[in-house]
């Protein structure tokens, strides 16, 4: 699948925030589960040019956010359209995201954090070459959750 990365528009941000609905334990990732995160995601100034829509066959299928934490380290956040999850598309998307980040920012390391209950995502990240660094607790979505920080050496 050929992925196209483009700066996320307001219309795309609103589509993701209001119509992408995950089920069961994955409802954790519904944008309105954390109003602070929702507000930041919907604010064009907060997003700047660091949030990207990912399209395939002219359809919005994912998003990618970038945060350059140091000159050589980029932290990413990503999400796939709910109907595209759990059906074997994750690894190709993550690999495409890695290639995009490397081409655009030329980091030495890429990091991400994932809720530890999300074994599907963790397995995909490991297959893509990410390694576990540490677990930590974080308040989000009105509760305290355990997260896993992972790193990819470019």
User: pTM of the full predicted structure?
Assistant: 0.94
Residue 151 placed within a domain:
no
Report how many domains make up the chain: 1
Residue 50 placed within a domain:
yes
Residues 6+ apart with CB under 8 A from 103: none
Q: What is the pLDDT along the chain (154 residues), one digit of tens a residue?
A: 899 999 999 999 999 999 999 999 999 999 999 888 899 999 999 999 999 999 999 999 999 999 998 889 999 999 999 999 999 999 999 999 999 999 999 999 999 999 999 999 999 999 999 999 999 999 988 889 999 999 999 9
- CA-to-CA distance for 44 and 48, rounded, in angstroms? 6
- Going by their DSSP bridges, the two strands 143-153 and 51-56 should be labelled as unpaired
Bridge partners (DSSP) of residue 148 are 114, 135
Tokens representing 96 are: 């495409």
Bridge partners (DSSP) of residue 62 are 54, 80
Residue 72 placed within a domain:
yes
Tokens representing 30 are: 């519904």
CATH number at 13 reads 3.40.630.30
């Amino acid at each position: 699948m050929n992925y196209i990365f483009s700066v996320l528009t307001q219309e795309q941000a609103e589509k993701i925030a209001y119509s992408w609905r995950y089920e069961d334990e994955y409802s954790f990732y519904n944008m309105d589960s954390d109003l602070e995160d929702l507000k930041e995601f919907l604010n064009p100034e907060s997003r700047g040019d660091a949030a990207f829509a990912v399209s395939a066959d002219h359809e919005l299928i994912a998003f990618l956010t970038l945060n350059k934490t140091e000159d050589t380290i980029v932290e990413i956040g990503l999400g796939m359209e709910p109907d595209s999850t759990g059906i074997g598309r994750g690894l190709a998307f993550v690999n495409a995201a890695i290639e995009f980040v490397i081409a655009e920012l030329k980091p030495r390391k890429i990091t991400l954090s994932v809720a530890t209950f999300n074994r599907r995502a963790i397995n995909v990240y490991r297959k893509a070459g990410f390694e576990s660094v540490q677990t930590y607790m974080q308040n989000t979505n009105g509760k305290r959750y355990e997260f896993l920080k992972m790193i990819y050496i470019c």
